[in-house]
Amino acid sequence: MITPRTVSGTLELLPRQQIIHQHMIDVIRRGFERFGFLPVETPVFELKEVLLTKSGGETEKQVYFVQSTGSLQQGYVPDMALRFDLTTPLARYVAQYERDLAFPFRRYQIQRVYRGERPQRGREREFYQCDIDVIGKDKLTPLYDAELPAIIVQIFDTLKVGPFTIHFNNRKILRGLVQGYGLTDPETQILVLREIDKLDKIGAEKVLASLIGLGLAESDAQNLMELIGHKGSKDDVLAALQALPVEDPLFRQGVEEVTQMVAALRALGVPEERTRLNLSIARGLDYYTGTVYETTLDAHPEFGSVCSGGRYDDLASHYTKSKLPGVGISIGLTRLFELLEDTGLLPETPPLVQILVAQLDPALTPLYLSLATELRAACFRVDAWLEPAKLDKQIKFADKNGIPIVLLLGAEEAAESSVTVKDMKAKTQTRVARNNLIGFLSPLFDVRA
């Protein structure tokens, strides 16, 4: 006998939670589609050579390698690996099918990704990511950077996750500032951004010391710290940026892009309080070259970001000579699901199974089957109990599965062509004529073909 168990850190839910999880995916997908994004799915594994293009280090340490029985038996080194994010497969996909795609290419992808790490709550080995990216050919206006928060706002509002804030920034602003302050070496600029990214974790004092250590004059470092600590409105922060006596072109370009983005957010009707121009958002990844996003639940800033992304200059330089700038954002669905579960905020979903046709008398089975068929043809979601069993057991089944309506049909009902409708929540029983049944049940549910 083998103990039934899963690998720790992998994804598995009981049906009740799975229904909620599926509902969340549906809402996210509909939100993406409403903004004109097209679906893509990629294989779970890729050739190692294709997947591990980056200069490695951290990523390579967390990969799961895959090989067939034959390859293993012959002592080969695995040449495939599970995807660890959805961005690398996207880059490969866009380069591979470049001629078949229409640009700007809006794609969404909702799939699981894999990281070979020591699992803990919030850091799993298998988790869902829900990504959108807009990929341009040669160029892509910063207006697209404003659409992504608009999509996330619509989705998170529909999911009823409570108040949340999408923080955004533009790395050109910070890099340009630092450049204006005399740090012209790009690598040092990146190090400054990484220090700023640690603000929430290590505090302002340590970041200030690091910045000075990296070569900033004390007054410049203090100016920078003041700026990234700015808690004002988008207009206040923009005004503060405009007023800075820094003429660095990268800085000015960043300010211009953010200004355009703020105007576009308003034209898109995104509520003011849902986005914040937060100059302390830097994102650790060197990959990002412009806009960066992080999203926090207002009631739980300690959870960190549940939806992040940014702008990149060139998506697929490892695979193609075409220049493919893009902007993307990713909902960490598994993390979000766990947070909502832990805080009791999982969205309520309509009942999946709406009706249980109970079995009162095995001799009436043909009646139960045709009743179920009739209701299913009317688009209700119907379970039919077919096993001889006490009614009590069937009611408990309905209760355990959250089925709101149980239909009772015994000899009496059969004789008068009626059905007794038992409402599990209201604890009522109503005798309904069989030919009125659908009319009686329809208002109780959102019935769709």
**Contact pick of 28, 126, 195, 358 for a copy of itself (by CB under 8 A):** 126
Q: Does 187 bind a copy of itself (CB under 8 A)?
A: no
Q: Does 165 bind a copy of itself (CB under 8 A)?
A: no
Contact status, residue 83 vs residue 46, Cβ threshold 8 Å = yes
Return the range that interacts with a copy of itself (CB under 8 A); candidates 87-95, 222-230, 406-414, 425-433.
87-95
Give the number of residues in contact with a copy of itself, rule: CB under 8 A: 114
**DSSP state string for 143-207:** HHHHHHHHHHHHHHHHHT--SEEEEEEEHHHHHHHHHHTT---HHHHHHHHHHHHTHHHH-HHHH
**Contact pick of 376, 416, 423, 429 for a copy of itself (by CB under 8 A):** 376
**Contact pick of 204, 209, 239, 386 for a copy of itself (by CB under 8 A):** 386
Of residues 155 and 340, the one with the C-beta less far from a copy of itself: 155
User: Sheet holding 355-357: strands in order across?
Assistant: 382-384, 355-357, 405-408, 418-423, 428-433
Return the range that interacts with a copy of itself (CB under 8 A); candidates 100-108, 186-194, 286-294, 433-441.
100-108
Q: Does 143 bind a copy of itself (CB under 8 A)?
A: yes
Q: Show contacts with a copy of itself in window 247-306 (CB under 8 A).
A: 263-264, 267-269
Long-range Cβ contact pairs of 219-227 (< 8 A, separation 24 or more): 220/181, 220/182, 224/177, 224/178, 224/181, 227/177, 227/279
Strands 80-82 and 45-47: antiparallel
Q: Does 448 bind a copy of itself (CB under 8 A)?
A: yes
**Contact pick of 216, 306, 384, 405 for a copy of itself (by CB under 8 A):** 384
Q: Does 11 bind a copy of itself (CB under 8 A)?
A: yes
Contacts of 392 (CB under 8 A, 6+ apart): none
Strands 126-135 and 105-114: antiparallel
Return the range that interacts with a copy of itself (CB under 8 A); candidates 34-42, 272-280, 303-311, 334-342.
34-42
Return the range that interacts with a copy of itself (CB under 8 A); candidates 3-11, 199-207, 301-309, 328-336.
3-11
Return the range that interacts with a copy of itself (CB under 8 A); candidates 140-148, 192-200, 281-289, 335-343.
140-148
Amino acid at 2: I
Distance, CA of 51 to CA of 150 (rounded, Å): 31
Q: Does 365 bind a copy of itself (CB under 8 A)?
A: yes
**Would you say the C-alpha torsion 91, 9, 57, 71 has a positive or negative sign?**
negative
Q: Does 420 bind a copy of itself (CB under 8 A)?
A: no
Strands 307-312 and 291-297: antiparallel
Say how many residues make up the chain.
Answer: 449
Cβ 183 to a copy of itself, closest distance in Å? Answer: 33
Residue written as token pair 């996330």: 152
- What's the half-sphere exposure (Cβ side, CA atoms, 13 Å) at 328? 29
Q: Does 349 bind a copy of itself (CB under 8 A)?
A: no
Cβ 23 to a copy of itself, closest distance in Å? Answer: 10
Q: Does 7 bind a copy of itself (CB under 8 A)?
A: yes
